[in-house]
């Protein structure tokens, strides 16, 4: 069983599915690895480092293909029947490619569908890449604002610290809180899941609470869509909170659904000029009504940033974490040096998008 890592072809994708150290781990486990020349260059991993790790360099067909982005149509056309492809994507976002993969009898896994269970934690790319996004969102906000983050006492006067509000305190939100705190900001955060309060406070931030009488959390620990009435109250509550903030980072998501709108256009107009919003949910519809995917919007002096694929902007460490996740997943598929797909296993069943000519997840 040979594993191949192609150079990512999507625009603005700088990550690579395997790093040299993880390649060495796979080679040691008896899995031969082939890396396309230049595959790691954008993430600062040289071909020579992969060769030293025991990989071959080339572009020949392999039994398994490890990727970050879903394959492009031209890539799918080159796969032989029975090839196994592992990548990170929502099947609904690339329906045509999924149909093509099934037609070519390729077995495809998406790590975006991984169950968030303890057994799968080491494979959890959603968490590792959200960590990168949460961190980078704060750096983007710090670069865009006209203020210092920390309080400064200088001969030229005392400058107050920036006030940062984080909406949605899951993996990305908690990392944003930690990063903003390290830069010296005064941070507060809000989430509909009550369990989050303690985590927010343990990072030195204030939890701003709104009374929510309905059950806002699923058994799996995710947020649920709020009732219309509670959502209306939430919008009014947040409109008050954002008035005080210099920076707002939004990360709220509901798995499989459009992201909830948390900041209305009116709420933006109520904010101080010079404030910055970074909307991490822009890819799934946005938490701020005025956010635009991949664009910066200026409304009433408020900058609204809608960055796409933030994880790719920190490619070295994002790839390092991704490579550990995907290699753990791969080794989970292998028994005695050969692929063994046990569809009774939740991890394999839930992530399998195409197999044996069928589309299993849409």
x-or-dash string of contact with ligand NAD, 155-184, rule CB under 6 A: ------------xxxxxxx-----------
Which entry of 21, 51, 127, 182 is annotated as an active-site residue? 127
- What is d(CA 184, CA 161) in angstroms, rounded to the nearest whole number? 7
Give the shortest CB-263-to-ligand NAD separation in angstroms.
11
Point out the catalytic residue in the list 121, 202, 227, 240: 121
**Residue 135: active-site member:** no
Structural contact between residues 273 and 300, judged by C-beta atoms closer than 8 angstroms: yes
Piece of the chain touching ligand NAD by CB under 6 A; list 97-105, 175-183, 186-194, 268-276: 186-194
The nearer residue to ligand NAD, 26 or 205, going by C-beta atoms, is: 205
**What's the min distance (Å) between Cβ of 268 and ligand NAD?**
17
Site for ligand NAD (CB under 6 A): which residue of 24, 53, 130, 326?
130
The only residue of 221, 256, 293, 337 in contact with ligand NAD, by rule CB under 6 A: 221
The catalytic residue among 51, 116, 182, 233 is 116
Give residue 156's region: left, alpha or beta (phi > 0; psi -120 to 50): alpha
Structure tokens at 75: 């890539």
Instruction: Choose, by CB under 6 A, the member of 260, 286, 307, 315 that binds ligand NAD.
Output: 260
Contact 306, 286 (CB under 8 A): yes
Sign of CA dihedral 160, 162, 165, 170: negative
79 is catalytic: no
CA distance 125 to 328: 11
Is the CB of residue 137 less than 8 Å from the CB of residue 176? yes
Return the residue of 41, 90, 127, 328 that touches ligand NAD, per CB under 6 A. Answer: 127
CA dihedral (141, 142, 145, 148) in degrees, to 10, reads: 150
* Residue least distant from ligand NAD (Cβ): 170
Look up 292 and say whether it is catalytic.
no
Among 121, 218, 240, 300, interactor with ligand NAD by CB under 6 A: 121
Q: Parallel, antiparallel, or unpaired: how do β-strands 64-66 and 84-87 relate?
A: parallel
User: Which residue in the set 7, 51, 105, 116 belongs to the binding site for ligand NAD (CB under 6 A)?
Assistant: 116
307 in helix, strand or coil? coil
Terminal CA-CA length for the chain: 28
> Rounded to whole angstroms, what are the CA distances from 241 to 201, 268, 290?
17, 11, 17
Single out the catalytic residue among 222, 233, 345, 350.
Answer: 222
Taking CB under 6 A as the criterion, the residue among 64, 76, 141, 223 binding ligand NAD is 223
DSSP symbols for 176-233: HHHHHHHTT-EEEEE-S-TTHHHHHHHTT-EEP-----S--B-TTS-B-PPPHHHHHH
Q: Decide if 50 is catalytic.
A: no
Provide the token pair at 62.
């392999």
Among 124, 246, 279, 283, binds ligand NAD (CB under 6 A): 124
- Phi first, then psi, for residue 214 (nearest 5°) are -85, 165
Question: Does 262 sit near ligand NAD (CB under 6 A)?
Answer: yes
DSSP state of 145: S
Which among 115-123, 154-162, 306-314, 347-355 is the span making contact with ligand NAD, rule CB under 6 A? Answer: 115-123
Q: Does 191 bind ligand NAD (CB under 6 A)?
A: yes
Q: Does 90 sit near ligand NAD (CB under 6 A)?
A: no
Is 322 annotated in the active site?
no
* H or E segment to which residue 172 belongs: helix 171-182
Which string of x and - marks every residue 239-258 that binds ligand NAD (by CB under 6 A)? Answer: ------------xxxxx---
- The Cα 7–Cα 58 span in angstroms is 11
Catalytic hit among 69, 104, 110, 124: 124
Minimum Å distance from CB 252 to ligand NAD?
Answer: 4
Cα–Cα distance, 333 to 302 (Å, whole number):
48
Contacting positions for ligand NAD (CB under 6 A)? 116-118, 121, 124, 126-127, 130, 167-173, 190-193, 196, 221-223, 226, 234, 251-255, 260, 262
Residues with catalytic roles: 116, 121, 124, 127, 222
């Amino acid at each position: 069983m040979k594993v191949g890592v192609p150079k990512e072809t999507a625009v603005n994708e700088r990550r690579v599915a395997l790093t040299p150290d993880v390649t060495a781990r796979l080679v040691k486990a008896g899995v031969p690895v082939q890396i396309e020349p230049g595959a790691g260059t954008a993430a600062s991993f040289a071909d020579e480092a992969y060769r030293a790790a025991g990989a071959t360099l080339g572009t020949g067909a392999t039994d398994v293909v490890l990727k970050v982005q879903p394959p492009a149509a031209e890539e799918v056309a080159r796969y032989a029947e029975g090839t196994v492809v592992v990548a990170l994507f929502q099947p609904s976002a690339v329906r045509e490619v999924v149909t093509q993969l099934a037609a070519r009898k390729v077995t495809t896994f998406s790590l975006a569908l991984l169950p968030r269970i303890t057994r799968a934690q080491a494979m959890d790319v959603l968490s590792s890449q959200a960590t990168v996004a949460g961190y980078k969102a704060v750096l983007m906000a710090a670069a865009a604002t006209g203020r210092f983050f920390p309080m400064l006492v200088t001969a030229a006067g005392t400058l107050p610290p920036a006030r940062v509000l984080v909406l949605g305190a899951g993996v990305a939100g908690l990392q944003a809180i930690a990063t903003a705190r390290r830069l010296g900001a005064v941070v507060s955060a809000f989430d509909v899941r009550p369990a989050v309060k303690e985590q927010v406070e343990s990072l030195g931030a204030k939890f701003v609470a709104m009374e929510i009488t309905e059950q806002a959390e699923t058994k799996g620990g995710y947020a649920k869509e709020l009732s219309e009435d509670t959502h209306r109250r939430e919008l009014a509550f947040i409109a008050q909170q954002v008035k005080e903030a210099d920076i707002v980072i939004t990360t709220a998501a509901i798995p499989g659904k459009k992201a909830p709108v948390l900041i209305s256009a009116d709420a933006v107009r109520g904010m101080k000029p010079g404030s910055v919003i970074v909307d991490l949910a822009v890819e799934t519809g946005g938490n701020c009504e005025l956010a635009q995917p991949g664009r910066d919007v200026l409304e009433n002096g408020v900058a609204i940033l809608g960055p796409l694929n933030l994880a790719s902007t920190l490619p070295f460490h994002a790839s390092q974490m991704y490579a550990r996740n995907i290699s753990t997943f791969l080794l989970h598929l292998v028994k005695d040096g050969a692929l063994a797909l046990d569809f009774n296993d939740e991890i394999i069943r839930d992530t399998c998008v195409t197999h044996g000519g069928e589309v299993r997840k849409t």
